[in-house]
Amino acid sequence: MIKTELGTLRRSHYSNELNPSMDGLEVTIMGWVLTIRGHGNISFATIRDKNGDIPIVAKKGDCPDELREKLSILKAHSSIAITGRIKSSEKAPTGFEIIPSELRVFSDVEKIPPFEPLAKTVKNIDTRLEVRPIDLRRKTLQHIFNARSQVLKSIRDYFYQQNFIEINTPKMIATATEGGAALFPIFYYNKEAFLAQSPQLYKEQLIMSFEKVFEIAPIFRAEPSRTNRHLAEAISVDLEEAFVDYNDVMNRIEDIIKIAIVTVSDYAKNNSDVEFIIPSKPEHIPRYSYDELIEKMQKAGAKTEWGDDLYPSNLKKIGVEGFYFIKDWPLGPKPFYVKDSKTNPKISESFDLMFGDLELSSGSTRIEKRHELEERMKNKGMKTDAFEYHLGAFDYGVPPHAGCGIGLERLIMALTGTENIRDVTFYPRDVDRLTP
């Protein structure tokens, strides 16, 4: 009647597979205890599995006394299985309840979490992160990560439909991908190596063989930023394509954004308790040049000059909102592989995708000629010898190409109205956090 081992017992149904029309059917459900309430000779429990909640009613005379007594003293988060029969009930939120006949308690709770499992919000995110597996049981986060999973699937489906091939590139590298100091050094046997800032150089090489490639994988940036939108380890959706330029890549991103919005909207429609703030799907994502925005900022009274970064405070002053591209940035600060404009050598064929003042993506047309790459690297004070493995590929005919990286976590923030990037990351890594 009450056991503690799984044995041969297996779940017969998930919560979303049960309904009142199954009245009288014996089922086995598994999950963890969400709530327990006792009223004399009757105990009410709610069991949550990956798909939802299941009401349990243990009443004297309807189920064994031993089972009812054990159920009544279980703590929230206990992991259990219940076998019982479905009974339709107009009073139950689901339209039915389960009358238990067998209980298995796989694990009793040793500690009480520092927040309620039903809480929609818990102010101290560090408290939540310390018990992240329990935090992720809350409905708010369940919806975020289920929607995130659906978005990833829709993005992958788009790439496969467009004849891209999925790649995997090394995350331990010998030299900096983009130069600069934002690197995590590691010991690689008896030599120094680095965690990859991006798959940039590898995906450029791979378009020589496959033309259209994408990767969804971690990137590592050692930036000392303590904001609600920066991570040291993030997931990047990278694409690279041969025989196109940055305009074609912006078209790709526009497709992806529209697909992602539809995906999240559909998820919300199928889950009535979702509280996402979902942006409306744009017919077309506006494309502003860097020069155009600088001029608008100056007219709005912002202290900015050509060559300055476009700071969030200044973007707010000119009222740009929703999704939009900023293109044709000054070439100077851009990575060595970004191509310059045919009409103005001080301008790059590059873009950022923004959502309000939040940067979601960065991309460009790439340089396809070795001598131009070497000249750019030298101008940036980089040692070309350290990149010979990459430069050597350009001796064999690299086609014109372009690509970008999209920050998955920031995209999910934009799609769901989430303010803190840690709430769209399973286990965040930042300046202050290396655990759990």
User: Active-site residues: which are they?
Assistant: 221, 223, 229-230, 359, 362, 410
- Residue 69 in marked binding region: no
Phi/psi at 127 (5° precision): -60, -45
Nearest to 321 by CA among 288, 366, 343, 348: 288
Cα–Cα distance, 373 to 396 (Å, whole number): 14
Cα–Cα distance, 83 to 10 (Å, whole number): 10
347 within 8 A of 335, measured Cβ to Cβ? no
Instruction: Find tokens 């990575």 and name the residue.
Output: 335
Cα separations (Å) of 45 from 29, 77, 250? 13, 12, 51
Q: How does DSSP assign 275-309, residue by residue?
A: ---PPPPPSS--EEEHHHHHHHHHHTT----TTS-
| Amino acid code (one letter) for 102 | E
- Residue 178 in marked binding region: yes
Helices (H) and strands (E) in the chain, counts: 11, 17
Cα–Cα distance, 427 to 305 (Å, whole number): 39
Structure tokens at 77: 């988060």
- Cis-peptide into 436, omega within 30 deg: yes
350 within 8 A of 344, measured Cβ to Cβ? no
Q: What is the end-to-end Cα distance of the chain in Å, rounded?
A: 37
Cα–Cα distance, 296 to 381 (Å, whole number): 34
The dihedral built from the CA positions of residue 384, 388, 389 and 391, taken in this order, carries a sign that is positive
Q: What value does the CA radius of gyration of the chain take, rounded to a whole number of Å? A: 27
- Residue 295 in marked binding region: no
- Residue 223 in marked binding region: yes
- Residue 375 in marked binding region: no
Structure tokens at 235: 């997931």
- Residue 229 in marked binding region: yes
- Residue 222 in marked binding region: yes
- Residue 410 in marked binding region: yes
Give 54's strand partners: 47
Instruction: Find tokens 């199954």 and name the residue.
Output: 22
* DSSP H or E stretch at residue 262: helix 246-269
Q: Is 152 exposed, middle or buried (0-12, 13-18, 19+ CB in 10 A)?
A: middle
- Residue 359 in marked binding region: yes
96 alpha carbon, distance to own chain's centre: 35
- Residue 366 in marked binding region: yes
Phi/psi at 27 (5° precision): -135, 160
Cα–Cα distance, 271 to 260 (Å, whole number): 17
Structure tokens at 148: 């995130």
**Annotated binding site: which residue ranges?**
178, 221-223, 229-231, 359, 362, 366, 407-410
**Annotated binding site for Mg(2+): which residue ranges?**
359, 362
**Annotated binding site for L-aspartate: which residue ranges?**
178, 221, 362, 366
